[in-house]
Amino acid sequence: MEKSHRQRPNPSSSSSSSSTHFRSQKFRSNSTTKDGKFTKNNNPNAREDFVKPRRASQQVQQHLDDSSNLPVLLGTCPFMCPVAERVQRERLRDLAVFERLDGNPRKTSSDLAVKKFCRTISNRDMPTSDLRPLPVLEDTLDYLLSFLDSSEHPFEVVHDFIFDRTRSIRQDLGKQNIDNEKAIYMYEKMLTNTCNLARRSMIIQMDDVFREVSLRGSGEPFFYS
């Protein structure tokens, strides 16, 4: 007696067709009735997927408009470091060895302290008394570059001090949108000396490696941190 074999439905095909139908219903903006008329899709997810990118683009455009409407800042700080920052760093003992008056970590002066680099978000609430004008920035750069040939302190200390303080100079130039010939010359000097500092740092590191090899012997493995 022959048995009748019923064809079982394929679950994978049914699930794939249902998922395809769900996606088409979700992202389809309009649907058509039997009489050929169009009706709006009332699926809230479809509207939300369309509105989100538009809102994001509007927020980006608003941020750009706000940035372009910011007032032009003109620095008024006559010192290498603003007074408020100098007082705060004295209280926190946040003074580099080059900024300490008579070696005192809690005392400095306007002739020694140099403004540190500090990451800021916006220029809207920045006081002009914290920004140094171009002549003060030029004098500050010349003062910093005078430490390049210093042998009183280790090279790493000199390198870190100059790198951070010249970064603050570039920040003040950018905040005030200074892009004249004097500013370009300052950028060139900072770039040249940054490359020289990096080269000297590499030479010192290689000298340390070769010294380690010579002390341990060429046939012995060596490790350094």
Average pLDDT over residues 140-168: 93
pLDDT band at residue 110 under the 50/70/90 scheme: very high
More confident residue, 175 or 124: 175
- Tens digits of residue pLDDT in 204-214: 778 777 777 77
Q: How many CB atoms lie within 10 A of CB 165?
A: 23
Q: Is the pLDDT at 168 greater than 60, yes or no?
A: yes
Q: Is the pLDDT at 146 greater than 80, yes or no?
A: yes
Q: How high is the mean pLDDT of the chain?
A: 77
Q: Tokens representing 151?
A: 């042998």
Looking at 43-47, 117-121, 149-153, 205-209, which range is the least confident one? 43-47
pLDDT band at residue 35 under the 50/70/90 scheme: low
What's the distance, CA 46 to chain centroid? 37
Q: Tokens representing 142?
A: 């010349």
Report pTM: 0.63
- Tens digits of residue pLDDT in 75-93: 999 999 999 999 999 999 9
More confident residue, 41 or 209: 209
CA distance 60 to 53: 11
